[in-house]
Amino acid sequence: MDCYLAVDIGGTQLRVALYPTEGITPLERHSISTRPEQGNVLGRLKDLIAGIWPNGSKIRRIGIGVAGPVNPQSGILYNAPNIPEWRNLSIRHEIEGVFETPVVIGNDANLATLGEWRYGAGQGHHDVLYFTISTGIGGGIILHDRIVTGHRGIAAELGHVTVLPGGPMCGCGQRGHLESVSSGPAIARYVSERIAAGRTSSLTLVTPISASDVAEAARQGDPLCIEAFDFAGRMLGQALANYLAILNPSLIILGGGVTKAGPLLFDPMWAALRASVMSPEYLEGLQITTAVLGDEVGLIGALALARLE
């Protein structure tokens, strides 16, 4: 029987799974901790793949998703924020060299987009934007039924656009990016900074505040915490209005832990989007929905890439 092998390289976990030629139910699935501080991540990844390699089946292609900027044409990973020892690493060459099987590779957010489009919330659409809103804000773009990677493979950094010039510092070193105002840490920081400045809240600074703490307190009616999501949602809505004018998609998929806040985030997002959109024509036929593949999206995205033509 022919199979596909999917690999998801994250900062916390290395995961591999074996899939048949149809469907998204794995035949087998292994994972280990990434432990970048232990070194030799590449060696342990190769062992993990060897461990799942089937006897008597042919692997048609290996699909690999990795957190970090990667060039899909050359197969070179420029760097991996969570695996410092990997710089300008030709993952494709390394894996093809050992397993003598074609390897395709992509950035994790791009592959999540591909996964949701082929097997999740995006099925049947041709022009799709995907946002993952969690510790950071990543994204992916499908246009004319094709993932947009750009000239050097680093397109679709949808969280790294300026929405508030001079605003909060972003993880990338710039100020006022969407990630700096609408990600989980940004929401938590919004509340922490204001408590530190004397605002009252049901939350305290005794232990570090997380975005899910803020969501829980907002649901209990805490005004500061409601305000924090209102701000994050409005900034997101304003950014979406820009993305509609640029790319005119029929679907926007929102994934990542912060979207679990639901209406706390989505109500102000929709209000700002409706108020900011250049013309109501961009909202005609537009759907905004949440991601459906959950934690499996990394593997399923890598599978979707492996199965592409």
Place of tokens 């659409």: 125
Residue 147 CB: number of other CB atoms within 10 A? 24
Contact between 89 and 77 (Cβ < 8 Å): yes
- For residue 260, the minimal CB distance to a copy of itself (Å) is 26
> Applying CB under 8 A, does 210 fall inside the site for a copy of itself?
no
| CB closer to a copy of itself, 12 vs 248 | 248
**Selected range binding a copy of itself among 86-94, 130-138, 169-177, 185-193, rule: CB under 8 A:** 169-177
| CB closer to a copy of itself, 34 vs 180 | 180
> Applying CB under 8 A, does 162 fall inside the site for a copy of itself?
yes
List the interface residues with a copy of itself, window 122-141 (CB under 8 A). 126-127, 141
Place of tokens 């004018």: 245
> Applying CB under 8 A, does 308 fall inside the site for a copy of itself?
no
- For residue 157, the minimal CB distance to a copy of itself (Å) is 4
Q: Which of 138, 142, 188 is nearest to 160 (CA)?
A: 138
Contact between 154 and 69 (Cβ < 8 Å): yes
How far is the C-alpha of 144 from the C-alpha of 302, rounded, in Å?
A: 20
Structure tokens at 74: 């050359």
Instruction: Out of 69, 102, 168, 257, point to the residue binding a copy of itself (CB under 8 A).
Output: 69
> Applying CB under 8 A, does 27 fall inside the site for a copy of itself?
no
**Residues facing residue 128 across a β-bridge:** 142, 251
Instruction: Out of 249, 256, 298, 301, point to the residue binding a copy of itself (CB under 8 A).
Output: 249
Q: Which of 28, 66, 68, 26 is nearest to 45 (CA)?
A: 66
> Applying CB under 8 A, does 150 fall inside the site for a copy of itself?
yes
> Applying CB under 8 A, does 155 fall inside the site for a copy of itself?
yes
| CB closer to a copy of itself, 32 vs 155 | 155
| CB closer to a copy of itself, 146 vs 199 | 146
Q: Which of 150, 152, 170 is nearest to 162 (CA)?
A: 170
Helix (H, G, I), strand (E, B) or coil at 128: strand
Place of tokens 């510092």: 169
Q: Give contact residues for a copy of itself (rule: CB under 8 A).
A: 69, 78, 126-127, 141, 143-144, 146, 148-158, 160-165, 172, 174, 177, 238, 241-243, 245-250, 276, 278-279, 281-282, 284-286
